[in-house]
Amino acid sequence: MRAIYVLCIRQLKRYVRSPARIVGSLGQPLIFLLALGFGLGAMVARGGGGNYVDFIAPGIVAMAIMFTAVFSGIEIIWDRQFGFLKETLVAPVSRFEIAFGRVLGGALVAMLQGVAAFLICLIIGFRVHDWLLLPVALIFMFLISLLFTAIGTAIGSVLQDMQGFPLVMNFLVMPLFFFSDALYPMNGLPKILEGALRLNPVTYGVDGIRGSFSSTFAFHIATDFGVLIVLSLILLAIGSYLFSKIQL
């Protein structure tokens, strides 16, 4: 347990000591929020669709979490190339424990990034309908963080090319984001596209956050929790296994 605690603190210290990383990670979500929230928001309002900023803000929060969580996997490649990973792996601690500590630390960092994005949404005009459900939203944010940090750890454990990691991640994360209900509701979509959204774990994460803020869930809250918990555990096991097989 001590190793897990140490690795979590190490990840958090890296995050706090890198303000450029914090600001840079919020750049893309902020652009999406401003461009879509106010650009398309005016059209949605004229069509009687309500406040579009309130609709996409949970998706923007999820986006900030996803990219930060997934790119935590590149630290594995970085540490491997510069020898830091070898120092960690030779410690008298199981690799599964090391992997879990890294994933948990990366998930906490990604969650903090999501909280920062949430605060920006509030400043821009996002409205929370039920503040009592804020702890539930934070739990969903943590589950999304855990899920995508595990994905990043799994891929970072397999890849050795630092330049190839962002390409693989963008190929994976961007489709997951766009083919979810982050930017548009599922109601009225073609059946094929609606089926794709239902198979996407991001859909359940965004629905959990959105439902917590608005008290209205597209799925049942238990469904959102169940999907995210099961997938997080599966991917955490896969990521830990692949990390344990790293050859230095």
CA distances from residue 244 to 88, 143, 154 in whole angstroms, order as listed? 12, 23, 10
Give mean pLDDT, residues 14-37.
71
Tokens of 108: 């906490």
> For the chain, how many residues are written?
248
Rounded to a whole number of angstroms, the CA Rg of the chain reads 18
137 pLDDT above the threshold of 70: yes
Asked whether residue 47 carries a pLDDT value surpassing 70, the answer given is no
For the full predicted model, state whether its pTM sits above 0.95.
no
Q: Is the pLDDT of residue 121 over 80?
A: yes
216: left (phi over 0), alpha (psi -120 to 50) or beta: beta
Question: What pLDDT sits at residue 101?
Answer: 79
* Cβ atoms 121, 57 nearer than 8 A: yes
According to DSSP, residue 36 is labeled I
